[in-house]
Amino acid sequence: MLERLKEFNRLSAAFNQARSLPTLSDAILACLKQMNGCARGGVWLRPYRSNEPVLMGSFGYDDGSSPMPQVHNAYNLLCAPLCYRESILGFIQAEAHDSTSFDELSQELFATLANQAAVALENARLFADVQETYVETISSLANALEARDNYTKGHSERVTQYSMAIAQVINLESERLQILKHAAMLHDIGKIGIKDIILNKNGRLTQDERATIERHSVLGDLILGPCTFLAGVQKIVLHHHERYDGLGYPEGLSGENIPLEARIIAVADSFDAMTSDRPYRQALSLKHAIEELQKGAGTQFDPALVEAFLSWLSTHHLLTHIAGKASEAA
């Protein structure tokens, strides 16, 4: 009995780590599978903001029979709702090998499992809610900047696209991808704090004006400061104008002391700036912009990231070229 309790405790501890419904469902199924005499099991969960429970996973129904909660051949069936406060968030079921399989301990464990699963499910749903609020906040911040600065419209989106492309080529870990994406969207957010007359000036900037514009990375850091959930993003925004050789701003960091995500955005940002029309100059040709990136590799930019970007660009432009030809032919 002690062994069974120990095993149950070990498996159900995984519930607390589960941040998504599929992970939670797998953890519940693992618990059901180790129940003494359990032949079949299933987990139904109600997705966030939905009323209908959906079958998340099952085992033992390989014979084609339906995992709907009904008694197969009058065997023992345990079924329990996952209740949190007043709501039913789903249910779980277990079917026994034969009519004597589920002893009293099994039934107790099953009821405990349902209770623990319900709490974990509610946590996962709250986590999803926080994530959603987070993404909504980021979008509204990005919109706020676009409303101020004509040039930024489309720029943040393209910088995000190029940054994600570089990240894919260098195989950036998936947890960092989301942070990079949000940092790329918000990299120029500090421009909200720069006067219109300087931000949208139609001529060359004076030295003072340039210094004012350059404050945008520090301002970005200040603006994002109160959002603790953006802490990872904040550091990247602060350093997106550092240079690989240490001659950038605001802190003059060099090489690998600059956060990797900030080095990625530096390449993406410069490429988009070069290939976009500005009030005071026309966009550079693609060939010219590539040459500029190559010239800056090792001084302005991390050379490995320039290489990664150029390799993506060659495949990407080749594909666009082929797609263009195909539609011309059609």
Q: Which is nearer to Fe ion, 95 or 188 (CB)?
A: 188
Q: How far is the CB of 180 from Fe ion (least distance, A)?
A: 15
Q: How far is the CB of 194 from Fe ion (least distance, A)?
A: 11
How far is residue 176's CA from residue 179's CA, in Å, rounded to a whole number?
A: 5
Q: Which is nearer to Fe ion, 41 or 220 (CB)?
A: 220
Number of residues that bind Fe ion (CB under 5 A): 1
Residue 250: is the preceding peptide bond cis (ω within 30°)? yes
Residue-level length of the chain: 330
153 is catalytic: no
Q: Which helix (H) or strand (E) holds 44?
A: strand 38-45
| Position closest to Fe ion via CB | 188
- Ranges of H-type helices in the chain: 2-12, 21-33, 104-148, 155-169, 174-186, 196-199, 207-214, 216-224, 231-238, 260-274, 286-296, 303-329
- Sites for Fe ion among residues 188-207 (CB under 5 A): 188
Is residue 89 helix, strand or coil?
A: strand
221 binds Fe ion (CB under 5 A): no
Q: Which is nearer to Fe ion, 30 or 273 (CB)?
A: 273
Near Fe ion by CB under 5 A, which window of 78-86, 180-188, 260-268, 282-290? Answer: 180-188
Q: Which is nearer to Fe ion, 109 or 219 (CB)?
A: 219
Closest CA to 105 of 11, 9, 189, 5: 5
Site map (CB under 5 A) of Fe ion, residues 134-173, x = contact: ----------------------------------------
How far is residue 143's CA from residue 202's CA, in Å, rounded to a whole number?
A: 23
Token output for 3? 């062994």
Site map (CB under 5 A) of Fe ion, residues 43-62, x = contact: --------------------
Given the residues 153, 181, 191, 295, the one annotated as active site: 191
Torsion of CA 233, 236, 241, 246, to 10 degrees: 170
- Return phi, psi of residue 77, to 5°: -135, 125
Q: Which is nearer to Fe ion, 96 or 184 (CB)?
A: 184
User: Any idea which residues carry the catalytic annotation?
Assistant: 191
Footprint on this chain of Fe ion (rule: CB under 5 A) = 188
